Amino acid sequence: GESEGRRPSSLSPEKDDDSTTAEKKEHQRRETKKNSKEKEATRLKFQERSASSSSPSASPSSRVLRSVGIGHVSVRVVAGNIADVRVDAVVNAANSLSFMTMDGGVSGALRNAMRPPGWRERKRELRKARAHGTTAGSGGRVIRKTPAAGKNKSAPAPAEKDDDGVIAYPKLFWDDDGKEHTNKRLPTTQAGVQPALGILRSQGVRHVVHAVGPIWTDYPVREKTFKIIIPQIKTTVRRALNAAARVGATSCAIPAISGGIFTHWKPNSNIKEREMKAARLAVVTEVCAWARDHGEATANKLLSVDIIDLPSRQRGSVKWFVEAFDKVAGSARKSNPRPTASEC
């Protein structure tokens, strides 16, 4: 009777409790592993989306040559025209009063992109008006010329002024203590913001950040100059990225700062090339350093930085950005293969 009434030992309460505990632990282990896989998939998906050349920050004609994720910030090297970018903020390699009428290079390209769509056609019409004495917007109709005072010759009608209000626009900038300032002129290494207009605005650009880098030709051609200029370029880049982040930009494009017309040129010398390469290395180094410092900050909304230059077939130097990127972020995962000579 006792043997029939006793429950089998394998079904004892103690064993049931142990089995339930083991099942709970196994379930928790599987859930943790599942969550880790989901997080990793999300992270990889973010990196792929950031690295994709079809992302909103890439123009249709641009090409992503290098990409790396640093924290939550995607840093890319892009071959393309900075005036065609689709980003929140575009950085201008500026002088102290940019924009100016005679701006060239990056500043000149962005200056033209601040004009309204169709400005080139408008400019051609103004030139015809000046040449033929017509009024712009008259559809080419010849307006009767007014005789010049005291002369038998006729004077052409005055052409309309080509002024769109972006020359020497007041810029908003911050000092290292976070104090806000507004001025038309920016000191060297400072970065100031003005609203994007015209073609840039139609592309989705909201801000132009004027970054005033140091001028190599203000110093003599010697090795000591590199030690003076490079830290100033890095300071300028850091302030430009900080300014873009302050105005709420989620993406920005930055060119070579102090890497063009500000460099030296001497016959039978490679000084210009050395300075251009050094400037690009400084830009890449500081962008990656800024991403490391801000990539994990929850308050930072600037999640994509494109380092951009024209390919060499368009007289650009993006290949030197690629070389600099490989030095600075060579151990990081590259989402694109090494570009061929035709691509650079």
The full set of domains in the chain, from first to last, is 60-118+160-334 (3.40.220.10)
The pLDDT of residue 84 is above 90: yes
Q: What is the pLDDT of residue 338?
A: 46
The pLDDT of residue 294 is above 80: yes
The pLDDT of residue 251 is above 90: yes
Q: What is the pLDDT of residue 23?
A: 79
Q: What is the pLDDT of residue 60?
A: 67
Q: What is the pLDDT of residues 321-334, one digit of tens each?
A: 999 999 998 644 44
Q: What is the pLDDT of residue 310?
A: 92
Could you give the percent of the chain with pLDDT greater than 70?
A: 72
Could you give the percent of the chain with pLDDT greater than 90?
A: 52
Q: What is the pLDDT of residue 135?
A: 56
Quick one: average pLDDT of 180-191? 95
CA atoms within 13 A on the CB side of 317: 20
| DSSP H helix total and E strand total for the chain | 8, 11
Residue bearing the bigger pLDDT, 282 or 24: 282
Residue bearing the bigger pLDDT, 295 or 178: 178
**Comparing C-alpha atoms, which of 219, 239, 241, 237 is closest to residue 229?**
219
If phi > 0 it is left, if psi is from -120 to 50 it is alpha, else beta; for residue 22 that is alpha
Measured at the alpha carbon of residue 286, what is the angle toward residues 281 and 290, in degrees to the nearest 5? 155
Residue bearing the bigger pLDDT, 275 or 22: 275
Quick one: average pLDDT of 218-224? 94
Dihedral angle sign, alpha carbons of residues 201, 205, 206, 208: negative
The reported pTM is: 0.71
What does 35-73 look like in DSSP terms, one character per residue?
HHHHHHHHHHHHHHHHH-TTSTTS-TT-EEEEEEEETTE
| Residue 252 bridge partners (DSSP) | 89, 305
The pLDDT of residue 253 is above 50: yes
